[in-house]
Chains A and B, each alone.
Chain A
Amino acid sequence: MPRLSYRKALTRALADEMTRDESVFLLGEDIRVAASNVTAGLLKKFGPERVIDTPLSEQAFTSFATGAALAGLRPVVEFQIPSLLFLVFEQIVNHAHKFPLMTGGQCEVPVTYLVPGSGSRTGWAGQHSDHPYGLFAHVGVTTVVPATPADAYGLLVSAIRHVDPVVVFAPAGAMDVRADVDFAALAPVPIGKGRVHRAGTDVTVVAVGHLVHDALAVADELAGQASVEVFDPRTLYPFDWDGLVESVSRTGRLVVIDDSNRSCGIAGEIIATVVERVRLLAPPARVTRPDGAVLPFAPALDRAVQPGREQLRTAIQLTLKEG
Chain B
Amino acid sequence: MIRSDPVRLYRTVRLIRRFEERALDLVRSGAIVGGIHPYLGQEGIAAGVCAALRDDDLVTGTHRGHGHVLAKGADPARMLAELLGRVTGLNRGRGGSMHAADFGIGVLGANAIVGAAGAILTGAVWARRRRGDDLVGATFFGDGAVNEGMLLEAFNLAALWRVPVLFVCENNGYATTMPVDGAVAGTIPGRAEAFGMQAAVVDGQDPEAVRVAAAAAIARMRAGGGPELIEARTYRFDAHHTFEHVVRLDYRAPEEVAVGRSRDPVEIAGGRLGDADRAAVDAEVEATLDAAVEFALASPEPEPAGALEHLYASGLVARTGDA
Seen from chain A, the residues whose Cβ lies within 8 Å of a Cβ on chain B are: 49, 54-55, 57, 59-73, 90-91, 94-95, 99-110, 140, 162-164, 192, 238, 276
Residues of A within 8 A of B94 (CB): 101-105
Q: Which A residues lie within 8 Å of B120 (CB)? A: 63-64, 66-67, 70, 95
In the complex, per-residue mask of B114-138: 1 if CB is within 8 Å of any chain A CB, else 0: 0010011111111110110000000
Most buried by B among A65, A67, A73, A100: A67
B313 contact from A49, A55, A57, A109, Cβ within 8 A:
A109
Q: Is B309 an interface residue (CB 8 A)?
A: yes
Are B160's CB and A68's CB within 8 A?
Answer: no
Per-residue CB contact flags for chain B residues 88-121 toward chain A (1 = under 8 Å, else 0) read 0111111100010111100011010100100111
Alpha-carbon gap, A55 to B195, bound state (A) = 13
Q: How far is the CA of A115 from the CA of B288 in the complex (A)?
A: 51
Contact of B92 among A62, A105, A238, A276 (CB under 8 A): A105
Known: A59-B153, A67-B125, A140-B311. A103 touches B91 (CB 8 A): yes
- Contacts known (A59-B119, A73-B127, A105-B309); A162 close to B95, Cβ less than 8 A: no
4 closest Cβ pairs, A-B complex = A67-B123, A60-B153, A104-B92, A64-B123
Q: Which residues of A contact B99 (CB under 8 A)?
A: 102-103
Give the distance to chain A from B61, nearest Cβ to Cβ, in Å.
13
Tell me whether A73 and B108 are in contact in the complex, defined as CB-CB below 8 angstroms, given that A61-B157, A140-B311 are known contacts. Answer: no
Q: Whole-angstrom distance between the alpha carbons of A69 and B120 in the complex?
A: 9
- Given A64-B122, A91-B150, A102-B94, output 20 extra A-B contacts at Cβ < 8 Å: A55-B157, A57-B153, A61-B153, A62-B119, A63-B150, A63-B154, A67-B121, A70-B120, A70-B123, A72-B128, A95-B113, A95-B120, A99-B109, A103-B94, A103-B99, A104-B90, A104-B94, A107-B313, A140-B318, A162-B314
Q: How distant is the Cα of A72 from the Cα of B89 in the complex, in angstroms?
A: 24
Contact of B128 among A71, A105, A107 (CB under 8 A): A71
Tell me whether A64 and B311 are in contact in the complex, defined as CB-CB below 8 angstroms, given that A71-B131, A72-B127, A95-B113 are known contacts.
no
CB contact between A64 and one of B102, B126, B149 (< 8 Å): that residue = B126
A106 interface neighbour in B103, B113, B128, Cβ under 8 Å = B103
In the complex, are the beta carbons of B149 and A59 less than 8 A apart? yes
Residues of A within 8 A of B160 (CB): 55
Nearest B residue to A54 by beta-carbon distance? B157
B93, B119, B127, B149: the one within 8 Å of A104 (CB):
B93
Q: Which of A60, A69, A103, A163 contacts B109 (CB 8 A)?
A: A103
Q: A73-B131, A103-B103, A105-B309 are in contact. Are A67 and B108 (CB under 8 A)?
A: yes
A60 adjacent to B157 (CB under 8 Å):
yes
CB A14 to nearest CB in B, in angstroms, measures 19
Binary interface profile of B, 293-323, with partner A (CB < 8 Å = 1, else 0)?
A: 0000000000000001111111010100001
A285 to B125, CA, bound (A): 51
Contact of B310 (CB < 8 Å), options: A61, A105, A140: A105
Cross-chain contact A59 with B313 (CB below 8 angstroms): no
Question: In the complex, which residues of chain A have a beta carbon less than 8 angstroms from the beta carbon of B102?
Answer: 106
A101-B113 in contact given A66-B120, A106-B91 (Cβ < 8 Å): no
A164 and B314 contact, CB distance less than 8 A:
yes
Query: In the complex, are the beta carbons of B127 and A67 less than 8 A apart?
Result: yes
CA distance A164 to B149 in the complex (A): 26
* A100 neighbours in B (Cβ, 8 Å): 310-313
| Given A100-B311, A102-B95, A164 and B316 contact (CB-CB distance below 8 Å) | yes
**7 A-B interface contacts by CB (under 8 A):** A57-B153, A65-B123, A67-B120, A67-B126, A68-B124, A100-B312, A107-B108
- Please give me the residue from chain A that is nearest to B151 by CB atom: A60
Which among A61, A72, A104 has the highest number of chain B CB atoms within 10 Å? A104
Contact yes or no, A94 B312, CB < 8 A: no
Residues of chain A within 8 A of B122, CB atoms compared = 60, 64, 67
Q: Which of A65, A106, A108 has the most CB of B within 10 A?
A: A106
Roughly how many angstroms separate A166 CA and B287 CA in the complex, as a whole number? 47
By a CB distance below 8 angstroms, the chain A residues around B312 are 100, 163-164
CB neighbours of A66 from chain B (8 A): 119-120, 123
B156 contacts the other chain (CB 8 A): yes
Contact partners of A94 in chain B: CB under 8 A? 113, 116
- How far is the CB of A274 from the nearest CB of chain B, in Å? 14
- What are the residues of chain B within 8 A of A140 when measuring CB–CB? 311, 318
